[in-house]
């Protein structure tokens, strides 16, 4: 029995090392530059998320709690922001506009909130409108419980699908052995709501006693990328693994993504978490990274602005401080490419209304990628 355990542990270590070498070999740097990176918005600290308003100005969330409006080269601070719980990875997180923003004016934000009876905080989702550089009509749509003073894994990203449903992610808040696999608890989940916060009647767990009925999928670790596929309409996420095992997943109704029962990663100490990378009834990632790149925001390239990039997936790397381009054939990653190497921790990426790519880098700002003809 002891010998089999030792062999299993050895297999996991060898697997991680082998995959690490393979991943490193496949991540290439272009021979000739496709773009030049031009600093567009300067002096930002941790720009977690950003979105473009119809007038092409930008709303930017600073993790420290500021919402910034960038218009005509100038930054202004938006007022009336709800109190943000500051601890570890918690703060003011993602931002997104309603798909019909021009008609209804709704802006959605996720943030760490201390509201509740317990000490600490947890991830919340709200919506509001913008009037004269201040938020109005503020409505909290979801608040995860219970609060905890742990500083890890708040998530969080926001996405809308083609039917107008709102999806958002919350990490497992450092409680990996309980939260991700328990649908009666918040954390380690991707949630789906109507745009006003109501629970859709066909959510997968609405008829399960005690379940958090906003849950759409579970078994996640810390999803920090969440976007709609521009052709299929599917919701894709990326999420942080531990030491290795960062993932890209296509989110399916009621699906279990395995954490921590299955993973391609190991503990930060180098010890195994499990020897299982697959398990019946659990989804496999369409791609995983070993070693971890610490993926953050991501975006699909939908235009022909950059040579041969259309259809690619862009993912920011916090750990290795670059932007990664993944070339896809369907839902298979066939090539990886390092862009903006060593420029800094890439936190968010968006394709702008001008069909250019914008990249938020910690400690610097938002860069605009100008194509080289």
**pLDDT bucket at 5, cuts 50 / 70 / 90:** very low
In this structure, what token pair is assigned to residue 28?
């290439």
pLDDT at 30 (0 to 100): 79
Question: Alpha-carbon Rg of the chain, whole angstroms?
Answer: 20
DSSP labels, 206-267: TTSTT--TTEEEE--S-EEEEEE-TTT--EEEEE--SBS-EEEEE--TT-B--TTTS-S-B-
d(CA 227, CA 346): 17
Mean pLDDT of the chain: 93
Mind listing the pLDDT tens digit for each residue in 97-106?
999 999 999 9
Q: List Cβ neighbours of 47 (8 Å cut-off, separation of 6 or more).
A: 41, 60, 61, 62, 63, 347, 348, 360, 361, 362, 365, 366
Is the pLDDT confidence value at 24 over 60?
no
Question: Higher-confidence residue: 249 or 16?
Answer: 249
326 pLDDT more than 60: yes
pLDDT at 21: 38
What's the rounded mean pLDDT across residues 321-337? 97
Label residues 88-122 b or e (16+ Cβ within 10 Å = b).
bbbbbbbbbbbbebeeebbbbbbbbbbeeeeebbb
What does the pLDDT look like over 216-252, one tens digit per residue?
999 999 999 999 999 999 999 999 999 999 999 999 9
What's the CATH code of the domain at 297? 2.120.10.30
d(CA 154, CA 169): 8
Name the more confident of 27 and 189.
Answer: 189
- pLDDT at residue number 19: 45
Helix (H, G, I), strand (E, B) or coil at 143: strand
Distance CA 291, CA 302 (A): 28
Asked whether the predicted pLDDT for residue 95 surpasses 70, the reply is: yes
pTM for the whole structure: 0.93
Residue showing tokens 């521009």: 230
Q: What are phi and psi of 57, to 5 degrees?
A: -75, 170
- How many separate domains does the chain show? 1
Residue range 44-70: mean pLDDT, rounded: 98
Q: Is 157 exposed, middle or buried (0-12, 13-18, 19+ CB in 10 A)?
A: buried
26 band by pLDDT with thresholds 50, 70 and 90:
low
Report whether pLDDT(152) > 60: yes
Say what percent of the chain tops pLDDT 90.
91
Helix or strand or coil: residue 21?
helix
Phi, psi of 143, deg, nearest 5? -135, 115
Look at residue 373 in the predicted model and tell me its pLDDT.
80
Q: The domain containing residue 158 runs over which residues?
A: 2-371
Assign 8 a pLDDT band (cuts: 50, 70, 90).
very low
Enumerate helices (H) and strands (E) in the chain, giving the number of each.
2, 25
Return the pLDDT at 32: 76
The stretch 281-289 carries a mean pLDDT of 98
Q: Does residue 240 have an active-site annotation?
A: no
Categorize the per-residue pLDDT at 29 as very low, low, confident or very high, splitting at 50, 70 and 90: confident
Q: Which of 98, 122, 153, 240 does the annotation list as catalytic?
A: 153
| pLDDT given for residue 12 in this prediction | 41
Residue 141 predicted with pLDDT over 50: yes
Question: Of 280, 281, 279, which is closest to residue 263 (Cα–Cα)?
Answer: 279
Determine contact, residues 139/115, Cβ cutoff 8 Å. no
């Amino acid at each position: 029995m002891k010998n089999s355990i030792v062999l299993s542990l050895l297999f996991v270590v060898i697997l991680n090392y082998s995959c690490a070498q393979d991943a490193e070999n496949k991540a290439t740097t272009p021979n000739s530059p496709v773009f030049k990176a031009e600093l567009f918005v300067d002096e930002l600290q941790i720009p977690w998320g950003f979105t473009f308003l119809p007038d092409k100005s930008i709303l930017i969330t600073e993790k420290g709690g500021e919402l910034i409006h960038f218009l005509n080269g100038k930054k202004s601070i938006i007022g009336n922001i709800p109190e943000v719980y500051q601890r570890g990875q918690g703060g003011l997180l993602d931002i997104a506009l309603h798909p019909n923003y021009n008609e209804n004016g709704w802006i959605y934000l996720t943030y760490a909130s201390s509201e509740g009876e317990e000490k600490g905080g947890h991830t919340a989702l709200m919506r509001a409108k913008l009037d004269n550089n201040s938020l109005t009509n503020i409505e909290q749509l979801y608040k995860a419980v219970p609060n905890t003073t742990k500083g890890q894994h708040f998530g969080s990203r926001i996405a809308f699908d083609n039917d107008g449903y709102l999806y958002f992610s919350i990490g497992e808040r450092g409680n990996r052995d309980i939260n991700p696999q328990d649908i009666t608890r918040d954390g380690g989940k991707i949630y789906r709501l109507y745009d006003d916060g109501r629970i859709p009647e066909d959510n997968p767990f609405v008829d399960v006693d005690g379940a958090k009925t906003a849950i759409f999928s579970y078994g996640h670790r810390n999803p920090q990328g969440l976007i709609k596929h521009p052709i299929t309409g599917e919701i894709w996420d990326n999420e942080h693994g531990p030491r290795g095992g960062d993932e890209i997943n296509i989110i399916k109704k009621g699906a279990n993504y395995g954490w921590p029962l299955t993973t391609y990663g190991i503990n930060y100490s180098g010890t195994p978490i499990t020897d299982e990378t697959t398990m019946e009834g659990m989804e496999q990632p369409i791609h995983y990274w070993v070693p971890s790149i610490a993926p953050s925001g991501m975006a699909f390239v939908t235009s022909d602005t950059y040579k041969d990039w259309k259809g690619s997936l862009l993912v920011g790397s916090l750990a290795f401080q670059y932007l990664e381009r993944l070339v896809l054939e369907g839902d298979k990653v066939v090539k990886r490419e390092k862009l903006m190497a060593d420029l800094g921790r890439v936190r968010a990426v968006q394709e702008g209304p001008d069909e250019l790519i914008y990249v938020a880098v910690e400690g610097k700002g938002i860069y605009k990628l100008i194509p080289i003809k």
